[in-house]
Amino acid sequence: PLDDVPEWKGVSMDEIRKGLGVYDCQELPPICASSSHIVLISLPLPARGTPKPYPTYQVEKWCQDYVRMPHSKHNLYLVNENGSRHNRNRWEIIQESLLQNFVSTHQLESAILSYNHIYAQRWDFTALHHFFSEVLDEEETNTFFETLMPKMVQLALQLPVLVTGSVPLLKRHTNGTISLSQLQIASLLANAFFCTFPRRNSTDPQSEYGRYPYINFNRLFSAYKEGKWKCESVMEKMKCIFHYFRRVTSKAPEGVVTIQRRYIPKSDCPKWDEQVQTLLPLHITSRGTIEAEGTGFLQVDFANKYVGGGVLGLGCVQEEIRFVICPELMVTMLVTEELDDTEALIVSGVERYSKYKGYSNSFKWIGDYVDETPKDSSGRRLTSIVAIDALYFKNSQMQFNINNIIRELNKAYVGFVGCEGSKSNLPAIATGNWGCGAFRGNPKLKVLLQLMAAAVAGRSMVYFTFGDTNLRDDIAEMHKHFVKHETNIAHIFSLLLQYQEFASAENSDFYRFLYNRSKMKPITQHLSKNIHTKLSVVKE
Ligand code: AR6
């Protein structure tokens, strides 16, 4: 009987797409190398086959602005041989250790520790051993060691020929872009699997990479917890990752990926109390997911400020799931310094490799996924993801504080605004309960902040409530209300301040409060002054 009731509200998908095709809008302009856009492949792309590395000869920069590559001649390793201590090239040791016929994960563990010996007592491989002893059967284990493992070793050891240029780091408070091939990413990730990246293992926040995500996979190999659930999702994540390596080693992927760090100084972010735009169209649905039904839109990654979050640990919510079904996203962890308040990361061109079902504890890998997304003129799949990290709220009242509201507005705005050279014809945003799961935000507030940021960035929105029909209806009503009353962003912003001031502590219904107040005159002189004094305090 419910069949003729649409499960969505707001405007239709067609209206969101303004009558254009699914792939007619594009997030990033075509790849064009510059001082702020490092391109590690040779352009134009070959008509077929994998992109060629750029430059044609190997250059190396062993310094703080570039990834310290495992094959660098500067990557030295202190060894004790024949009673004398001396430095050896670490890449040689890595090659010797990995070029053997592995038959067990214990052997793999020893190999990895042979070039990471100072961690021999600290690293733990329980989850990896558990995967092979308890999750895979004997035949699967044998196939792994006979077929996949040697190919993964080859992929890792080809790094010097595959990645000839230096990989820049995307540092705090900079705008920078990197384009590289999917095959280059595969080789970098194979190295991460074998834990070959130097200087990335310290847990000291003061160390050189203390403000970067973890990249070597020993983290994942140790992500074992007694108790059924935690460990099971780690096992399923491993299935996704091995599946990815199976795919890229059986047929080399031919596409290109662009990673862009975006920074807008806080002083250049919108003045939220002055924005005169009204909310833009919204399509809201309780069914579907960002990655599946958000095709062609800018898809939000509910990120951690260390991108990837707990993907190499026990985490298994939106960001971690996205990273394991599209493992190329993990290469962002190699290059992206911790995101600050007004920074975001855009990734275009990644491929999805795995099907899954469930979420968190019930997450399951269910097989191969063939990604049919077409590519743009630069060889990138037309899939774009924006990583924006929400604030974590231990105390739920805190999110109504003006500083926190402005922080979340700015964060979403930086993610949504589009880069120089492609501010028109941008796709809509595909998002959902950003910051409202692990980070404990209030979805009714967060959706409004996202809508306000999207409006100022000039973009419509597709919103997935992840099964919650009440939330869908409440949000649709709120959106309709503000559109009908032509309430502008500055006015909505002032209502949020009033809620903080008068009502949030009493826990009165947030949307009801907004409706009642928005019927009153926009902003009284007195209140407006009050807000300005408050804002100036905040700005200082
Ligand atoms: N599509 C649409 N909505 C989704 C999807 C999906 N695929 N998956 C989840 N949701 P959460 P956060 C909804 O907790 O609170 C990670 O560890 C669902 O309602 O992943 O921003 C990161 O690395 C879910 O409850 O995001 C960070 O450390 C809600 O979105 C941290 O979690 C929020 O998903 C971020 O936590």
Distance 318 CA to ligand 1 centre (A): 4
Distance 248 CA to ligand 1 centre (A): 28
Q: What is the DSSP letter of 521?
A: -
Nearest CA residue ID for atom 9, ligand 1: 318
Q: Give the angle 345-351-352 at the CA atoms, nearest 5°.
A: 105
Nearest CA residue ID for atom 14, ligand 1: 437
| pLDDT of 525 above 50 | no
Give the pLDDT of residue 522.
56
Distance 52 CA to ligand 1 centre (A): 37
| Among 302, 369, 385, residue to substitute to test ligand 1 (most atoms within 8 Å of Cβ) | 302
Nearest CA residue ID for atom 1, ligand 1: 289
Instruction: Pick the atom of ligand 1 nearest to 307's CA.
Output: 23
Give the pLDDT of residue 537.
47
Distance 92 CA to ligand 1 centre (A): 42
pLDDT tens, 464-506? 999 999 999 999 999 999 999 999 999 999 999 999 888 766 7
User: Considering 291, 320, 337, 343, which one is annotated as catalytic?
Assistant: 320
Q: Is 232 a catalytic site residue?
A: no
Check if the beta carbon of residue 188 is closer than 8 Å to that of residue 159: yes
Q: Which long-range contacts (CB under 8 A, 24 or more apart) does 391-395 make?
A: 391/435, 391/439, 391/441, 392/435, 392/438, 392/439, 392/440, 393/439, 393/440, 393/441, 394/440
Helices marked H in 66-172: 90-98, 105-114, 126-130, 138-143, 149-157, 159-162
| pLDDT of 283 above 70 | yes
Task: Determine whether 343 is exposed, middle or buried from the number of CB atoms within 10 Å of its CB (0-12, 13-18, 19+).
Answer: buried
Check if the beta carbon of residue 434 is closer than 8 Å to that of residue 252: no
| Among 325, 389, 433, residue to substitute to test ligand 1 (most atoms within 8 Å of Cβ) | 433
Could you write out the three-class secondary structure of 425-493?
CCCCEEEECCCCCCCCCCHHHHHHHHHHHHHHCCCCEEEECCCCHHHHHHHHHHHHHHHHCCCEHHHHH
Distance 320 CA to ligand 1 centre (A): 9
Contacts of 391 by beta carbon, 8 Å cutoff, 6+ apart: 399, 404, 407, 408, 435, 439, 441
Angle, helix 443-456 to helix 402-416, in steps of 10 degrees: 50
Give the pLDDT of residue 228.
63
Q: What is the DSSP letter of 66?
A: B
Nearest CA residue ID for atom 17, ligand 1: 309
DSSP string, 361-412: GG-EEEEE------B-TTS-BS-EEEEEEPPP-SSGGGGGSHHHHHHHHHHH
Average pLDDT over residues 271-284: 98
Mean of all residue pLDDT scores within the chain? 93
Alpha-carbon distance 312 to 324, whole Å?
10
Q: Select the more confidently predicted residue: 5 or 170.
A: 170
| pLDDT of 296 above 80 | yes
Q: Which amino acid is at 448?
A: L
Give the pLDDT of residue 535.
52
Give the pLDDT of residue 501.
85
User: Percentage of the chain with pLDDT > 70?
Assistant: 94
Task: Determine whether 407 is exposed, middle or buried from the number of CB atoms within 10 Å of its CB (0-12, 13-18, 19+).
Answer: buried
Nearest CA residue ID for atom 11, ligand 1: 437
CB atoms within 10 A of CB 101: 9
Distance 359 CA to ligand 1 centre (A): 10
Distance 222 CA to ligand 1 centre (A): 23
Both tokens assigned to 292: 């599946």
DSSP string, 207-258: STTTTS---STHHHHT---SSHHHHHHHHHHHHHHHHHHHHHHHS----EEE
Nearest CA residue ID for atom 28, ligand 1: 304
Check if the beta carbon of residue 38 is closer than 8 Å to that of residue 257: no
Distance 317 CA to ligand 1 centre (A): 5
Contacts of 11 by beta carbon, 8 Å cutoff, 6+ apart: 281, 282, 283, 460
DSSP string, 270-318: --TTS---BPPPEEEESSS-HHHHTTTSEEEEEE-SSTTTTTTTT--SH
User: Considering 236, 301, 343, 389, which one is annotated as catalytic?
Assistant: 301
| pLDDT of 521 above 70 | no
Nearest CA residue ID for atom 13, ligand 1: 433
Q: Is 274 a catalytic site residue?
A: no
pLDDT tens, 137-194? 999 999 999 999 999 999 999 999 999 999 999 999 999 999 999 999 999 999 999 9
Residues with CB under 6 Å of ligand 1 are 289-291, 302-304, 309-310, 315, 317-320, 390, 432-439, 464, 466
Instruction: Pick the atom of ligand 1 nearest to 306's CA.
Output: 23
Given pLDDT bands bounded at 50, 70 and 90, which one contains residue 2?
Answer: low
Q: Is 146 a catalytic site residue?
A: no
User: Considering 109, 273, 319, 408, which one is annotated as catalytic?
Assistant: 319
Given pLDDT bands bounded at 50, 70 and 90, which one contains residue 421?
Answer: low
Q: What is the pTM of this model?
A: 0.95
Both tokens assigned to 453: 């940021």
Given pLDDT bands bounded at 50, 70 and 90, which one contains residue 418?
Answer: confident
Nearest CA residue ID for atom 30, ligand 1: 433
